[in-house]
Amino acid sequence: MATNQSIEVTKKRSNPIIGFLNSKKVVPYIFVSPFIISFLILTLYPAIRGVIMSFQSVLPGQVEFIGLTNYERVFNPTFYKALTNTTIYVILTVTILTILPIILAVILDSRFVKLKTLFRASLFMPALASTIVAGMIFRLMFGETDTAAANQILNWLGMGSVEWRFNAWSGMFLMVMLCVWRWLGVNILYFLAALQNVPSELYEAADIDGASLFQKFWYVTLPFLKPVTIFVVTISIINGFRMFEESFVFWEAGSPGNIGLTVVGYIYQQGIQQNDMGFGAAIGVILMLIIFVISFIQLILTGAFKRGDA
């Protein structure tokens, strides 16, 4: 510490400006300045601006305060439809993208499976395609005609063709499938990484006690996967509420009966396409509140777990 100070002193003497810029008090702030600037301009300011906008009617060259009118308008059947769709989508994707990767990761990690690298890489491959390209493949495979792949399989099984993009249930199925297909491999990698932390002695001890495969999974493996599970669930929930592309790629801006409308899709529709930015901002504020409440609940739930672990 003493040497550092003396070096700083000598430097300051040699050239005050360089000495100042190079002092350990100033350097860190110069290093983090890009973050400070971008945080203020590109996050904090828009966040505040968004809240203000939600109380305004924003038209080109004409902005006026209209109080809570935007919020009163938000609670309409279309918004409820978007919120319901998004919530169902979140519940389905979170459930599938947690349970399926755990099972597959445990199997992949077991000593029974050969060709681990090949399996892992091929499950990971879909994550490399953009949602648009992946969605295009799905759209062409789940086409309305009898000649599209999905209907060919259904017909082959003796079932009738489905107009995939025109029913509420099949529309949801398409969006969830698309998401699951792209993210399954990534989530498997998370769980595989966590599985490396399970001490093998625990399995040996369980073997000596005569535990079955399922008992070992339930009592030894699962508790070790808890932290990564919480993490996967958290990002899946947030990503689920942010969902837009999976819907856009199937229906562009509008789906029949809004079967594919999501909350972010509604923001896009109202704020950008209808140019009603104040209304769009109000939907955004409500979405933010929903995400905060969910994160808060989750924090309480998982915080309680953590206290138990520590």
Q: Of 3-22, which residues contact another protein (CB under 8 A)?
A: 3-4, 7, 18, 22
CA dist., res. 177 & res. 139, Å (int): 12
Amino acid letter, residue 211:
A
Q: Is 128 in the site for another protein (CB under 8 A)?
A: yes
Q: Of 245-284, which residues contact another protein (CB under 8 A)?
A: 245, 248-249, 252, 264, 267-268, 271-272, 277, 280-281, 284
Q: Is 228 in the site for another protein (CB under 8 A)?
A: yes
- According to DSSP, the residues that pair with 63 across neighbouring strands are 58
Q: Is 143 in the site for another protein (CB under 8 A)?
A: yes
One of 123, 176, 206, 261 touching another protein (CB under 8 A): 123
Contacts of 234 (CB under 8 A, 6+ apart): 295, 298
Q: Is 124 in the site for another protein (CB under 8 A)?
A: yes
One of 2, 28, 62, 160 touching another protein (CB under 8 A): 28
Q: Is 159 in the site for another protein (CB under 8 A)?
A: no
Residue that the structure tokens 């790629």 belong to: 249
Q: How far is the CB of 169 from another protein (least distance, A)?
A: 20
One of 5, 9, 20, 47 touching another protein (CB under 8 A): 47
Q: Is 198 in the site for another protein (CB under 8 A)?
A: no
CA distances from 233 to 84, 92, 106, 190 (A): 19, 12, 18, 12
One of 5, 16, 20, 45 touching another protein (CB under 8 A): 45
Structure tokens that stand for 195 in this block: 């599985």
- According to DSSP, the residues that pair with 62 across neighbouring strands are 59
C-alpha closest to that of 229 among 263, 260, 196, 195: 195
Task: Convert residues 82-111 into a mask of x (bound to another protein by CB under 8 A) and - (unbound).
Answer: ----------------------x--xx-x-
Q: How far is the CB of 77 from another protein (least distance, A)?
A: 22
Structure tokens that stand for 164 in this block: 């995939």
Q: How far is the CB of 147 from another protein (least distance, A)?
A: 4
Q: Is 153 in the site for another protein (CB under 8 A)?
A: yes
Angle formed by the axes of helices 222-241 and 168-195, nearest 10°: 140
Q: How far is the CB of 80 from another protein (least distance, A)?
A: 19
Cβ-contact 54, 70 below 8 angstroms? yes
One of 113, 293, 297, 301 touching another protein (CB under 8 A): 113
Structure tokens that stand for 163 in this block: 């107009």
- According to DSSP, the residues that pair with 56 across neighbouring strands are 65
Q: Is 133 in the site for another protein (CB under 8 A)?
A: yes
Q: Is 147 strand, coil or helix? A: coil
Q: How many CB atoms lie within 10 A of CB 230?
A: 15
One of 9, 24, 293, 303 touching another protein (CB under 8 A): 24
Nearer to another protein, 4 or 304 (CB): 4
